[in-house]
Amino acid sequence: MIAPQLWHVGAAINHLNPNPPEAESPSGLFKPGKPYGHAMTDADVADCISAFAKAAADAKRLGFDAIELHGAHGYLIDQFFWEGTNQRTDRWGGGTIAERGRFAAEILKAVRAAVGPEFPVIIRVSQWKQQAYDFKIAKTPDQLVEWLGPLVEAGADVLHCSQRRFWEPEFPDLDGEQGLNFAGWTRKLLGVPTITVGSVGLTGEFIAGFGGEKSQPASIDALLERLDKGEFDMVGVGRALIVDPDWAEKVRESRMDELQPFERTALGSLV
């Protein structure tokens, strides 16, 4: 199964580009207090929603098996979720996450209309942002439902719940330090398939890894135990596969001694 990831970076464009494109975002902010680019007009929003739908339809026409919308990590869809970057007072903003989530919901509705009822649609979401690693959109289970429930109602089949470290509990005050993670709570509350991700198979998280810190191979026993319990349905693997494309086969065959550490230089293999 192959699914392209469709996304728009919004104000989180590469600022090192000598000729960066004009950034558009909900309120012309890269993060709270840091203006960048311009606020999207109603026409901009409508064009963007249509572009996502067209891209999804194109993916289906070209033979892909599903599509994933990137609504995480401080990129455009996530900039609408976050009150720090969405300060609009029209129908695309508001004081509640349900109101600020309307942009994502309308994208999902348009995508669903474009690909039909049977084509799988995934959306990736995260509490953290590249602009604020410790931020949480949903601080309680009720807020999690308020945020993600409308996305399921709008057409999302699977929620890809991004964490920096998959083993960290989402609400430790409620179920302890060994409690459900982001994907686990989402599945429990909404009853839809979820994907967990975050430093799978490695000792270090990705920010440190991209900064030059080597991450060693790590056991996935705890991950498999959670998967067997049905806390989540699928697992996303990133850096471990970048450095070792045979990672999944080696894990399946218990060749753990052959797994490779991740170093930033491995990213050069993607260019």
CATH tag, 5-270: 3.20.20.70
pLDDT at 4: 98
Q: How many CB atoms within 10 Å of residue 87?
A: 14
Q: Which pTM was predicted?
A: 0.94
pLDDT higher than threshold 90 for residue 264 = no
Q: What is the pLDDT of residues 160-183, one digit of tens each?
A: 999 999 999 999 999 999 999 999
Average pLDDT over residues 140-159: 99
pLDDT digits (tens, 9 = 90+) for 217-246: 999 999 999 999 999 999 999 999 999 999
Q: Which DSSP string corresponds to the chain?
A: ---PEE---TT---TT-SSPPPPEESSSEEETTEE-SEEPPHHHHHHHHHHHHHHHHHHHHTT-S-EEEEEEETSHHHHHH-TTT----STT--SSHHHHTHHHHHHHHHHHHHH-SSS-EEEEEEEEETTBTT--S-SSHHHHHHHHHHHHHHT-SEEEEE-SSTTS-S-HHHH-TTS--HHHHHHHHH-S-EEEESSTTBSS-HHHHHTT--B-B---HHHHHHHHTTS-SEEE--HHHHH-TTHHHHHHTT-GGG---B-GGGGGGG-
Share of the chain above pLDDT 70, in %: 94
Identify the band that residue 13 occupies on the pLDDT scale cut at 50, 70 and 90.
confident
Overall average pLDDT of the 99-118 stretch: 99
Give the pLDDT mean for 28-34. 94
Domain ranges of the chain: 5-270
Q: Which residue has the higher pLDDT, 149 or 243?
A: 149
Examine the pLDDT at 115 and tell me if it is beyond 70.
Answer: yes
The residue among 16, 12, 49, 14 whose CA lies nearest residue 29 is: 12
Classify burial at 142, counting beta carbons within 10 Å of its beta carbon; exposed 0-12, middle 13-18, buried 19 or more.
Answer: exposed
What does the pLDDT average to over 22-34?
94
Q: At what angle do helices 182-190 and 141-154 cross, to 10 degrees?
A: 70
- pLDDT of 213 higher than 80: no
Residue of 271 and 225 predicted with greater confidence = 225
For the stretch 46-105, pLDDT in tens is 999 999 999 999 999 999 999 999 999 999 999 999 999 999 999 999 999 999 999 999
| pLDDT, the chain, mean | 94
Q: Is the pLDDT of residue 271 over 80?
A: no
pLDDT of residue 120: 99
Q: What is the pLDDT of residue 112?
A: 99
